[in-house]
Amino acid sequence: MMVDCTLYIGDNPLSNEVNKQNAEFAQLTTAEATYRSDGDIEKLIAAYEDVFITNKSTIVTQSRWFNFVDLYLKSGQNDKAWAWLNQLAVQHPDYMSKLRINDIKF
């Protein structure tokens, strides 16, 4: 039996998801670069919220998840940091040990 390993380009769910994730990575990377030059943490937080909360991104990137927590903490939004950690704990219980380490920051 031969398996068809053709890469489908165009309008298929996997290709669309990869394109969406690439755009989200680009959005966050651009926002982080802008933050390094202008220091506007609220604009950076808005970009993270757009990607992870508004668009419900499926990006699995622990470093950016925890950067999001740190941004909330730096801006004094502890309630939002705590809510984000709790959401991650529900959605990704396999990362629970790393999430608990971040709880110590509170």
Domain range annotation of the chain: 13-103
pLDDT for residue 76: 97
CA distances for 30 relative to 11, 34, 48, angstroms: 26, 6, 11
pLDDT for residue 101: 60
Q: How far is residue 96's CA from residue 102's CA, in Å, rounded to a whole number?
A: 10
Per-residue pLDDT tens listing for the chain (106 residues): 555 555 555 567 677 888 888 999 999 999 999 999 999 999 999 999 999 999 888 776 788 888 999 999 999 999 999 999 888 888 878 776 665 665 555 5
Which backbone phi and psi does 33 adopt, to 5 degrees?
A: -65, -40
- The CATH class of the 13-103 domain is mainly alpha
- The gap between the terminal CA atoms of the chain, to the nearest Å, is 56
pLDDT for residue 10: 56
Cβ atoms within 10 A of the Cβ of 85, count?
20
